[in-house]
Structure 1
Amino acid sequence: MNKLLLISLWAIATSTITGDLNITPQVNAPKEITQTKVEVVKDPVKELYDEMKLQGIIKWDAFEQAMQGYQQLNPKNRNIMTIIDFTLPSTDKRMYVLDMKAKKLLYHNIVSHGRNSGEKFATSFSNKHGSFQSSLGFYYAEETYYGGNGFSLRLDGLEKGINDQARPRAIVVHGADYCSTDIIKSTGRLGRSYGCPALPRELTKPIINTIKGGSLMYIYAGNKDYLASTKFVKKHPLEPTSTLIATQHDEETGKSKTVLN
Protein backbone atom coordinates (compact mmCIF):
# COMPACT_ATOMS: atom_id res chain seq x y z
CA MET A 1 0.00 0.00 0.00
CA ASN A 2 2.79 2.40 0.95
CA LYS A 3 4.66 1.43 -2.20
CA LEU A 4 1.58 2.19 -4.33
CA LEU A 5 1.16 5.57 -2.64
CA LEU A 6 4.79 6.50 -3.31
CA ILE A 7 4.45 5.54 -6.98
CA SER A 8 1.33 7.72 -7.32
CA LEU A 9 3.00 10.74 -5.73
CA TRP A 10 6.06 10.31 -8.01
CA ALA A 11 3.85 10.22 -11.10
CA ILE A 12 2.01 13.42 -10.11
CA ALA A 13 5.27 15.30 -9.43
CA THR A 14 6.83 14.17 -12.71
CA SER A 15 3.76 15.29 -14.65
CA THR A 16 3.83 18.77 -13.04
CA ILE A 17 7.54 19.30 -13.75
CA THR A 18 7.19 18.19 -17.37
CA GLY A 19 4.26 20.52 -17.86
CA ASP A 20 6.25 23.48 -16.52
CA LEU A 21 9.12 22.73 -18.88
CA ASN A 22 6.78 22.81 -21.88
CA ILE A 23 5.46 26.35 -21.12
CA THR A 24 6.11 28.72 -24.06
CA PRO A 25 7.43 32.13 -22.87
CA GLN A 26 5.30 35.19 -23.81
CA VAL A 27 6.93 37.41 -26.51
CA ASN A 28 5.96 41.09 -26.82
CA ALA A 29 4.89 42.27 -30.26
CA PRO A 30 7.62 44.21 -32.12
CA LYS A 31 7.43 47.99 -32.01
CA GLU A 32 5.97 49.37 -35.20
CA ILE A 33 7.93 52.12 -37.01
CA THR A 34 6.07 54.23 -39.54
CA GLN A 35 7.30 57.17 -41.61
CA THR A 36 5.23 60.13 -42.66
CA LYS A 37 6.34 62.74 -45.18
CA VAL A 38 5.46 66.28 -44.13
CA GLU A 39 6.23 69.75 -45.45
CA VAL A 40 8.55 71.91 -43.32
CA VAL A 41 8.83 75.57 -44.32
CA LYS A 42 12.20 77.28 -43.96
CA ASP A 43 12.30 81.06 -44.40
CA PRO A 44 15.85 82.37 -44.94
CA VAL A 45 14.63 85.97 -44.60
CA LYS A 46 13.19 85.23 -41.15
CA GLU A 47 16.40 83.44 -40.22
CA LEU A 48 18.40 86.53 -41.26
CA TYR A 49 16.03 88.81 -39.32
CA ASP A 50 16.58 86.69 -36.22
CA GLU A 51 20.34 86.41 -36.76
CA MET A 52 20.64 90.20 -37.04
CA LYS A 53 18.60 90.52 -33.82
CA LEU A 54 16.14 92.97 -35.39
CA GLN A 55 13.02 91.89 -33.53
CA GLY A 56 11.67 94.84 -31.57
CA ILE A 57 13.84 97.21 -33.62
CA ILE A 58 12.65 96.95 -37.23
CA LYS A 59 9.10 95.89 -38.00
CA TRP A 60 9.02 92.47 -39.64
CA ASP A 61 6.83 93.69 -42.54
CA ALA A 62 9.25 96.52 -43.32
CA PHE A 63 12.25 94.19 -43.32
CA GLU A 64 10.52 91.42 -45.27
CA GLN A 65 9.33 93.83 -47.97
CA ALA A 66 12.77 95.43 -48.22
CA MET A 67 14.28 91.99 -48.65
CA GLN A 68 11.92 91.21 -51.52
CA GLY A 69 13.33 94.19 -53.38
CA TYR A 70 16.88 93.37 -52.32
CA GLN A 71 16.54 89.89 -53.79
CA GLN A 72 14.97 91.06 -57.07
CA LEU A 73 17.04 94.15 -57.77
CA ASN A 74 20.75 94.26 -58.49
CA PRO A 75 22.27 97.12 -56.49
CA LYS A 76 25.93 97.85 -57.12
CA ASN A 77 26.55 97.93 -53.39
CA ARG A 78 24.86 94.84 -51.96
CA ASN A 79 26.69 95.10 -48.65
CA ILE A 80 24.41 97.88 -47.38
CA MET A 81 20.64 98.26 -47.23
CA THR A 82 18.68 101.17 -45.74
CA ILE A 83 15.10 101.07 -44.48
CA ILE A 84 13.00 104.09 -43.51
CA ASP A 85 9.77 103.30 -41.67
CA PHE A 86 7.18 106.04 -42.12
CA THR A 87 4.59 104.20 -40.05
CA LEU A 88 6.48 105.64 -37.08
CA PRO A 89 6.26 109.28 -35.93
CA SER A 90 9.13 111.63 -36.65
CA THR A 91 9.95 111.65 -32.94
CA ASP A 92 11.04 108.00 -33.20
CA LYS A 93 14.23 106.61 -34.66
CA ARG A 94 12.87 105.28 -37.94
CA MET A 95 15.88 105.02 -40.26
CA TYR A 96 17.96 101.85 -40.25
CA VAL A 97 21.24 101.26 -42.07
CA LEU A 98 22.08 97.56 -42.26
CA ASP A 99 25.37 95.85 -43.04
CA MET A 100 24.12 92.85 -45.01
CA LYS A 101 27.55 91.23 -45.16
CA ALA A 102 28.39 91.50 -41.46
CA LYS A 103 24.70 91.02 -40.60
CA LYS A 104 24.40 93.89 -38.17
CA LEU A 105 22.67 97.22 -37.67
CA LEU A 106 25.02 100.14 -38.31
CA TYR A 107 22.78 103.19 -37.77
CA HIS A 108 19.39 103.69 -36.15
CA ASN A 109 18.38 107.34 -36.16
CA ILE A 110 15.71 109.98 -36.67
CA VAL A 111 14.88 111.19 -40.19
CA SER A 112 12.58 113.93 -41.49
CA HIS A 113 9.82 113.54 -44.08
CA GLY A 114 8.32 115.97 -46.61
CA ARG A 115 6.36 118.89 -45.19
CA ASN A 116 3.17 118.09 -47.13
CA SER A 117 3.27 114.43 -46.18
CA GLY A 118 2.04 115.22 -42.68
CA GLU A 119 3.16 116.76 -39.43
CA LYS A 120 4.30 114.21 -36.85
CA PHE A 121 3.40 111.28 -39.10
CA ALA A 122 3.95 110.93 -42.85
CA THR A 123 0.60 109.86 -44.29
CA SER A 124 0.52 111.34 -47.81
CA PHE A 125 2.98 110.54 -50.57
CA SER A 126 3.59 111.82 -54.08
CA ASN A 127 5.88 111.51 -57.07
CA LYS A 128 4.89 114.93 -58.45
CA HIS A 129 7.04 118.03 -58.79
CA GLY A 130 6.13 120.72 -56.32
CA SER A 131 4.22 118.37 -54.03
CA PHE A 132 6.80 118.66 -51.23
CA GLN A 133 5.81 115.15 -50.23
CA SER A 134 7.94 112.09 -49.60
CA SER A 135 7.82 109.17 -52.04
CA LEU A 136 7.69 105.52 -51.06
CA GLY A 137 9.45 102.48 -52.47
CA PHE A 138 12.90 101.43 -53.61
CA TYR A 139 15.82 103.70 -54.46
CA TYR A 140 19.49 103.44 -55.27
CA ALA A 141 21.68 105.70 -53.13
CA GLU A 142 24.08 107.03 -55.75
CA GLU A 143 26.69 109.80 -55.91
CA THR A 144 27.54 112.54 -53.43
CA TYR A 145 27.77 116.29 -54.04
CA TYR A 146 27.89 119.58 -52.17
CA GLY A 147 24.80 121.79 -52.49
CA GLY A 148 22.69 124.28 -50.59
CA ASN A 149 22.29 121.77 -47.77
CA GLY A 150 25.97 120.85 -47.68
CA PHE A 151 27.19 117.31 -48.22
CA SER A 152 24.34 115.44 -49.93
CA LEU A 153 23.54 112.18 -51.71
CA ARG A 154 21.47 111.78 -54.87
CA LEU A 155 18.73 109.15 -55.02
CA ASP A 156 17.40 107.33 -58.06
CA GLY A 157 13.82 106.13 -57.67
CA LEU A 158 13.35 102.68 -59.18
CA GLU A 159 9.56 102.52 -59.42
CA LYS A 160 7.78 104.14 -62.35
CA GLY A 161 4.94 106.39 -61.31
CA ILE A 162 5.82 105.93 -57.64
CA ASN A 163 9.24 107.51 -57.11
CA ASP A 164 10.96 107.71 -60.50
CA GLN A 165 10.91 111.52 -60.38
CA ALA A 166 13.18 111.58 -57.35
CA ARG A 167 16.24 112.84 -59.21
CA PRO A 168 14.40 115.48 -61.27
CA ARG A 169 12.66 116.62 -58.05
CA ALA A 170 16.05 116.83 -56.29
CA ILE A 171 14.96 114.34 -53.64
CA VAL A 172 18.27 113.68 -51.91
CA VAL A 173 19.71 112.66 -48.56
CA HIS A 174 21.07 115.72 -46.75
CA GLY A 175 21.59 117.14 -43.29
CA ALA A 176 19.26 119.67 -41.69
CA ASP A 177 19.19 121.70 -38.49
CA TYR A 178 15.46 120.95 -38.17
CA CYS A 179 16.24 117.23 -37.83
CA SER A 180 17.39 117.12 -34.23
CA THR A 181 16.29 116.04 -30.78
CA ASP A 182 16.25 119.71 -29.72
CA ILE A 183 13.55 120.42 -32.30
CA ILE A 184 11.54 117.46 -31.03
CA LYS A 185 11.77 118.80 -27.48
CA SER A 186 10.64 122.27 -28.50
CA THR A 187 7.91 121.42 -31.05
CA GLY A 188 6.90 117.83 -30.35
CA ARG A 189 8.05 116.66 -33.79
CA LEU A 190 10.85 117.08 -36.31
CA GLY A 191 10.98 119.84 -38.85
CA ARG A 192 10.11 118.80 -42.40
CA SER A 193 11.81 118.87 -45.77
CA TYR A 194 10.66 119.47 -49.34
CA GLY A 195 10.36 115.70 -49.72
CA CYS A 196 13.89 114.61 -48.87
CA PRO A 197 14.91 112.17 -46.14
CA ALA A 198 16.82 114.73 -44.05
CA LEU A 199 19.27 113.64 -41.35
CA PRO A 200 20.78 115.11 -38.18
CA ARG A 201 23.85 117.18 -39.09
CA GLU A 202 26.23 115.07 -37.03
CA LEU A 203 25.18 111.86 -38.81
CA THR A 204 24.97 113.17 -42.36
CA LYS A 205 28.53 112.54 -43.47
CA PRO A 206 29.05 109.10 -41.90
CA ILE A 207 25.69 107.78 -43.11
CA ILE A 208 26.06 109.14 -46.63
CA ASN A 209 29.57 107.71 -46.90
CA THR A 210 28.21 104.35 -45.77
CA ILE A 211 25.25 104.08 -48.16
CA LYS A 212 26.63 105.84 -51.26
CA GLY A 213 27.73 103.99 -54.37
CA GLY A 214 24.53 102.22 -55.36
CA SER A 215 23.16 100.62 -52.18
CA LEU A 216 19.44 99.95 -51.85
CA MET A 217 17.06 102.14 -49.85
CA TYR A 218 13.47 101.19 -49.09
CA ILE A 219 10.96 103.73 -47.76
CA TYR A 220 8.14 101.81 -46.10
CA ALA A 221 4.75 103.00 -44.87
CA GLY A 222 2.45 99.97 -45.01
CA ASN A 223 0.54 101.98 -47.63
CA LYS A 224 -2.21 100.09 -49.50
CA ASP A 225 -1.94 102.22 -52.64
CA TYR A 226 1.78 101.57 -52.84
CA LEU A 227 1.36 97.83 -52.28
CA ALA A 228 -1.27 97.73 -55.04
CA SER A 229 1.10 99.46 -57.50
CA THR A 230 4.60 98.15 -56.79
CA LYS A 231 5.95 95.20 -58.74
CA PHE A 232 8.68 94.46 -56.22
CA VAL A 233 6.62 93.66 -53.13
CA LYS A 234 4.27 90.73 -53.43
CA LYS A 235 2.83 88.38 -50.89
CA HIS A 236 3.80 84.87 -51.86
CA PRO A 237 4.01 81.52 -50.06
CA LEU A 238 7.39 80.32 -48.94
CA GLU A 239 8.90 77.40 -50.78
CA PRO A 240 8.55 74.34 -48.55
CA THR A 241 11.25 71.74 -48.05
CA SER A 242 10.46 68.10 -47.30
CA THR A 243 11.63 65.98 -44.41
CA LEU A 244 10.75 62.56 -43.02
CA ILE A 245 9.25 62.12 -39.61
CA ALA A 246 9.59 58.67 -38.01
CA THR A 247 6.80 57.77 -35.60
CA GLN A 248 7.58 54.96 -33.17
CA HIS A 249 4.47 53.27 -31.75
CA ASP A 250 4.77 51.25 -28.55
CA GLU A 251 2.25 48.42 -28.62
CA GLU A 252 2.52 47.91 -24.86
CA THR A 253 1.66 51.45 -23.77
CA GLY A 254 -0.28 52.54 -26.84
CA LYS A 255 1.82 55.73 -26.94
CA SER A 256 3.78 57.13 -29.87
CA LYS A 257 6.82 59.39 -30.12
CA THR A 258 7.99 61.35 -33.13
CA VAL A 259 11.58 61.86 -34.22
CA LEU A 260 12.89 63.97 -37.13
CA ASN A 261 15.04 62.01 -39.56
Structure 2
Amino acid sequence: MDRRTFSRLALTGLGIAVLPPSVTRAEPEDLTAAKGTGAAPLSSWAPPSARTPGVPDKPYARLLDRARAMLDTHAGAFALRDRIAIADFSMASRALRFHIVDLVSGQANSYLVAHGRGSDPEHSGWLRSFSNEPGSLATSDGAYKTGEIYHGVHGAAMRLIGLDSRNNNAESRAIVIHGADYVGENQIATWGKLGRSEGCFAVAPHMLPQVLGMLGPGRLLYADKV
Protein backbone atom coordinates (compact mmCIF):
# COMPACT_ATOMS: atom_id res chain seq x y z
CA MET A 1 0.00 0.00 0.00
CA ASP A 2 1.42 3.40 -0.94
CA ARG A 3 1.64 6.20 1.60
CA ARG A 4 -1.07 8.33 0.02
CA THR A 5 -3.57 5.44 0.04
CA PHE A 6 -2.79 4.59 3.69
CA SER A 7 -3.27 8.23 4.77
CA ARG A 8 -6.67 8.30 3.08
CA LEU A 9 -7.71 5.04 4.81
CA ALA A 10 -6.45 6.22 8.20
CA LEU A 11 -8.79 9.19 8.04
CA THR A 12 -11.70 6.82 7.68
CA GLY A 13 -10.51 4.53 10.50
CA LEU A 14 -9.65 1.69 8.13
CA GLY A 15 -5.89 2.09 8.22
CA ILE A 16 -5.54 0.25 11.55
CA ALA A 17 -7.28 -2.79 10.15
CA VAL A 18 -4.61 -3.36 7.52
CA LEU A 19 -1.61 -3.03 9.84
CA PRO A 20 0.23 -6.23 10.87
CA PRO A 21 -1.02 -7.76 14.15
CA SER A 22 2.36 -7.12 15.81
CA VAL A 23 1.82 -3.37 15.38
CA THR A 24 -1.80 -3.14 16.48
CA ARG A 25 -1.71 -5.56 19.43
CA ALA A 26 -0.52 -4.15 22.76
CA GLU A 27 1.40 -6.53 24.98
CA PRO A 28 -0.09 -7.08 28.46
CA GLU A 29 1.66 -5.38 31.36
CA ASP A 30 4.05 -7.47 33.40
CA LEU A 31 2.24 -7.67 36.73
CA THR A 32 4.65 -10.12 38.30
CA ALA A 33 7.44 -7.70 39.19
CA ALA A 34 6.59 -5.85 42.38
CA LYS A 35 9.07 -4.38 44.80
CA GLY A 36 8.72 -5.90 48.23
CA THR A 37 7.83 -3.55 51.04
CA GLY A 38 7.02 -6.13 53.69
CA ALA A 39 3.75 -6.95 51.97
CA ALA A 40 2.76 -8.70 48.77
CA PRO A 41 0.36 -6.88 46.43
CA LEU A 42 -3.30 -7.84 46.57
CA SER A 43 -3.52 -11.21 44.88
CA SER A 44 -6.13 -12.27 42.34
CA TRP A 45 -6.01 -15.95 41.60
CA ALA A 46 -5.42 -17.25 38.08
CA PRO A 47 -8.02 -19.43 36.33
CA PRO A 48 -7.54 -23.19 36.81
CA SER A 49 -6.03 -23.61 33.35
CA ALA A 50 -3.12 -21.37 34.31
CA ARG A 51 -2.21 -23.26 37.49
CA THR A 52 0.50 -25.87 37.74
CA PRO A 53 -0.99 -29.28 38.62
CA GLY A 54 -0.18 -30.38 42.14
CA VAL A 55 0.91 -26.90 43.31
CA PRO A 56 -1.37 -25.11 45.80
CA ASP A 57 -2.86 -21.96 44.26
CA LYS A 58 -2.57 -20.09 47.56
CA PRO A 59 0.50 -20.10 49.81
CA TYR A 60 -1.72 -20.58 52.85
CA ALA A 61 -3.97 -23.21 51.23
CA ARG A 62 -2.98 -25.96 53.67
CA LEU A 63 -4.06 -23.88 56.65
CA LEU A 64 -7.14 -22.23 55.18
CA ASP A 65 -9.41 -25.20 55.86
CA ARG A 66 -8.21 -25.34 59.47
CA ALA A 67 -8.88 -21.62 59.88
CA ARG A 68 -12.39 -21.98 58.47
CA ALA A 69 -13.01 -24.82 60.91
CA MET A 70 -11.91 -22.57 63.76
CA LEU A 71 -14.52 -20.01 62.70
CA ASP A 72 -17.16 -22.71 63.16
CA THR A 73 -15.65 -24.12 66.36
CA HIS A 74 -15.67 -20.65 67.94
CA ALA A 75 -18.74 -19.39 66.09
CA GLY A 76 -20.06 -17.50 69.12
CA ALA A 77 -16.88 -15.41 69.30
CA PHE A 78 -17.03 -14.02 65.78
CA ALA A 79 -19.71 -11.70 64.48
CA LEU A 80 -17.30 -10.74 61.66
CA ARG A 81 -16.52 -13.59 59.26
CA ASP A 82 -15.56 -11.63 56.14
CA ARG A 83 -11.77 -11.57 56.67
CA ILE A 84 -9.32 -13.69 58.63
CA ALA A 85 -5.57 -13.69 59.26
CA ILE A 86 -3.42 -16.79 58.88
CA ALA A 87 0.12 -16.99 60.28
CA ASP A 88 1.84 -19.89 58.53
CA PHE A 89 4.83 -20.72 60.70
CA SER A 90 5.76 -23.64 58.44
CA MET A 91 7.70 -21.03 56.47
CA ALA A 92 10.96 -19.28 57.34
CA SER A 93 10.78 -15.79 58.82
CA ARG A 94 12.13 -14.27 55.58
CA ALA A 95 8.94 -15.36 53.77
CA LEU A 96 5.67 -13.45 53.48
CA ARG A 97 3.83 -15.79 55.83
CA PHE A 98 1.17 -13.62 57.47
CA HIS A 99 -1.89 -13.55 55.22
CA ILE A 100 -5.04 -11.47 55.58
CA VAL A 101 -7.62 -13.31 53.52
CA ASP A 102 -10.90 -11.92 52.22
CA LEU A 103 -13.23 -14.92 52.44
CA VAL A 104 -15.77 -13.25 50.14
CA SER A 105 -13.51 -12.42 47.18
CA GLY A 106 -10.78 -14.99 47.76
CA GLN A 107 -8.11 -12.30 47.59
CA ALA A 108 -5.34 -11.79 50.13
CA ASN A 109 -2.51 -9.54 51.27
CA SER A 110 0.65 -11.14 52.65
CA TYR A 111 3.20 -9.72 55.08
CA LEU A 112 6.37 -10.47 56.98
CA VAL A 113 5.86 -11.49 60.61
CA ALA A 114 8.30 -12.44 63.36
CA HIS A 115 8.02 -15.36 65.76
CA GLY A 116 9.05 -15.56 69.40
CA ARG A 117 12.63 -16.15 70.47
CA GLY A 118 11.51 -19.01 72.69
CA SER A 119 10.21 -20.76 69.58
CA ASP A 120 13.59 -20.41 67.84
CA PRO A 121 16.30 -20.37 70.54
CA GLU A 122 19.13 -20.84 68.04
CA HIS A 123 17.81 -17.99 65.87
CA SER A 124 17.73 -20.15 62.77
CA GLY A 125 14.92 -18.16 61.18
CA TRP A 126 12.53 -21.10 61.55
CA LEU A 127 9.92 -21.60 64.26
CA ARG A 128 10.84 -24.87 66.00
CA SER A 129 8.10 -25.16 68.62
CA PHE A 130 5.09 -23.42 70.12
CA SER A 131 4.47 -22.69 73.78
CA ASN A 132 1.68 -21.16 75.85
CA GLU A 133 3.75 -21.01 79.05
CA PRO A 134 4.25 -17.63 80.75
CA GLY A 135 7.87 -16.57 80.45
CA SER A 136 8.55 -18.86 77.50
CA LEU A 137 8.96 -15.94 75.06
CA ALA A 138 7.52 -18.33 72.48
CA THR A 139 4.80 -18.06 69.87
CA SER A 140 1.53 -19.84 70.64
CA ASP A 141 -0.51 -21.58 67.97
CA GLY A 142 -4.28 -21.79 67.66
CA ALA A 143 -7.23 -19.46 67.18
CA TYR A 144 -7.16 -15.88 68.41
CA LYS A 145 -9.77 -13.16 68.37
CA THR A 146 -8.45 -9.71 67.51
CA GLY A 147 -9.13 -7.17 70.25
CA GLU A 148 -8.88 -3.45 70.77
CA ILE A 149 -6.21 -1.22 69.27
CA TYR A 150 -4.21 0.70 71.87
CA HIS A 151 -0.93 2.59 72.23
CA GLY A 152 1.78 1.02 74.40
CA VAL A 153 5.54 0.53 74.52
CA HIS A 154 5.60 -0.44 70.84
CA GLY A 155 3.29 2.35 69.74
CA ALA A 156 0.04 1.27 68.12
CA ALA A 157 -0.79 -2.37 68.79
CA MET A 158 -3.75 -4.75 68.76
CA ARG A 159 -4.62 -7.04 71.65
CA LEU A 160 -5.22 -10.72 70.98
CA ILE A 161 -7.52 -13.05 72.89
CA GLY A 162 -6.50 -16.72 72.86
CA LEU A 163 -9.49 -19.01 72.34
CA ASP A 164 -7.78 -22.39 72.67
CA SER A 165 -6.00 -24.23 75.47
CA ARG A 166 -2.85 -23.79 73.39
CA ASN A 167 -2.97 -19.98 73.57
CA ASN A 168 -5.33 -19.01 76.40
CA ASN A 169 -2.52 -17.20 78.22
CA ALA A 170 -2.18 -14.69 75.40
CA GLU A 171 -3.68 -11.79 77.33
CA SER A 172 -1.71 -12.39 80.51
CA ARG A 173 1.45 -12.79 78.40
CA ALA A 174 0.64 -9.54 76.54
CA ILE A 175 0.73 -11.27 73.14
CA VAL A 176 -0.29 -8.63 70.59
CA ILE A 177 0.21 -7.49 67.00
CA HIS A 178 2.71 -4.62 66.88
CA GLY A 179 5.34 -3.09 64.64
CA ALA A 180 9.06 -3.74 65.12
CA ASP A 181 12.23 -2.48 63.43
CA TYR A 182 13.62 -6.02 63.29
CA VAL A 183 10.92 -6.91 60.76
CA GLY A 184 11.61 -5.72 57.22
CA GLU A 185 13.51 -6.29 54.02
CA ASN A 186 16.64 -4.55 55.28
CA GLN A 187 16.83 -7.09 58.10
CA ILE A 188 16.50 -9.93 55.62
CA ALA A 189 19.08 -8.40 53.26
CA THR A 190 21.58 -8.18 56.12
CA TRP A 191 20.90 -11.36 58.08
CA GLY A 192 18.78 -13.55 55.81
CA LYS A 193 16.01 -13.64 58.44
CA LEU A 194 13.96 -11.44 60.75
CA GLY A 195 14.67 -10.68 64.36
CA ARG A 196 12.57 -12.38 67.02
CA SER A 197 9.77 -11.12 69.24
CA GLU A 198 8.87 -12.24 72.76
CA GLY A 199 5.94 -14.20 71.40
CA CYS A 200 4.09 -11.33 69.71
CA PHE A 201 3.10 -11.16 66.04
CA ALA A 202 5.51 -8.37 65.07
CA VAL A 203 5.20 -6.88 61.58
CA ALA A 204 7.07 -4.19 59.65
CA PRO A 205 6.29 -0.76 61.20
CA HIS A 206 5.26 0.81 57.89
CA MET A 207 2.82 -2.05 57.25
CA LEU A 208 1.24 -1.99 60.71
CA PRO A 209 -1.49 0.59 59.91
CA GLN A 210 -2.62 -1.51 56.95
CA VAL A 211 -2.63 -4.73 58.99
CA LEU A 212 -4.58 -3.20 61.87
CA GLY A 213 -6.97 -1.45 59.50
CA MET A 214 -7.76 -4.59 57.52
CA LEU A 215 -8.22 -6.78 60.58
CA GLY A 216 -9.86 -4.52 63.14
CA PRO A 217 -11.33 -5.92 66.35
CA GLY A 218 -13.46 -9.06 66.35
CA ARG A 219 -11.88 -11.20 63.62
CA LEU A 220 -10.02 -14.52 63.59
CA LEU A 221 -6.24 -14.84 63.58
CA TYR A 222 -5.16 -18.45 63.17
CA ALA A 223 -1.53 -19.45 63.80
CA ASP A 224 -0.18 -22.91 63.00
CA LYS A 225 2.34 -24.91 60.98
CA VAL A 226 2.01 -28.06 58.91
TM above 0.5, one fold? yes
CA contact (8 A) 2:184 2:194 kept: yes
**Could you say which residue in structure 2 is the equivalent of 1:88?**
91
- Distance, in Å, in 2 between the alignment partners of 1:59 and 1:181 is 21
Contiguous gaps of at least 5 residues in structure 1: 1-48, 223-261
Alpha-carbon offset, residue 213 of structure 1: 1.6
Aligned pair 1:100/2:115, yes or no? no
- Identity, in percent, stands at 31
Quick one: which amino acid aligns to residue 90 of structure 1?
Answer: S
Hey, which bits of structure 1, 4+ residues long, moved more than 6 A?
Answer: 49-54
**Could you say which residue in structure 2 is the equivalent of 1:170?**
174
Alpha-carbon offset, residue 72 of structure 1: 2.6
CA contact (8 A) 1:51 1:103 kept: no
Structure with greater strand share of residues: 1
Q: Which has the higher contact order (CA 8 A, sep 6+)?
A: 1
- The number of residues matched between the two structures is 172
**Could you say which residue in structure 1 is the equivalent of 2:206?**
202
**Could you say which residue in structure 1 is the equivalent of 2:58?**
57
Aligned pair 1:191/2:192, yes or no? no
Question: Equivalences for 1:11-22 in 2 at 5 Å?
Answer: none
- Distance, in Å, in 2 between the alignment partners of 1:57 and 1:163 is 26
- Distance, in Å, in 2 between the alignment partners of 1:191 and 1:176 is 9
CA-based RMSD of the aligned residues comes to 2.1
In the TM superposition, what whole-angstrom CA distance separates every residue of 1:184-209 from its partner, at most 9, and x where no partner exists?
Answer: 11111100100001000111011112
Alpha-carbon offset, residue 50 of structure 1: 9.1
- Distance, in Å, in 1 between the alignment partners of 2:116 and 2:131 is 10
TM-score, length basis structure 2? 0.71
Secondary structure of the 1:203 match is helix
CA distance 1:51–1:140, shift in 2 (3 Å): farther
Aligned pair 1:153/2:155, yes or no? no
Alpha-carbon offset, residue 169 of structure 1: 0.3
Alpha-carbon offset, residue 112 of structure 1: 0.3
Secondary structure of the 1:116 match is helix
In the TM superposition, what whole-angstrom CA distance separates every residue of 1:88-117 from its partner, at most 9, and x where no partner exists?
Answer: 000111010011233321x21110000111
**Greater displacement, 150-159 / 65-74:** 65-74
- Distance, in Å, in 1 between the alignment partners of 2:136 and 2:47 is 40
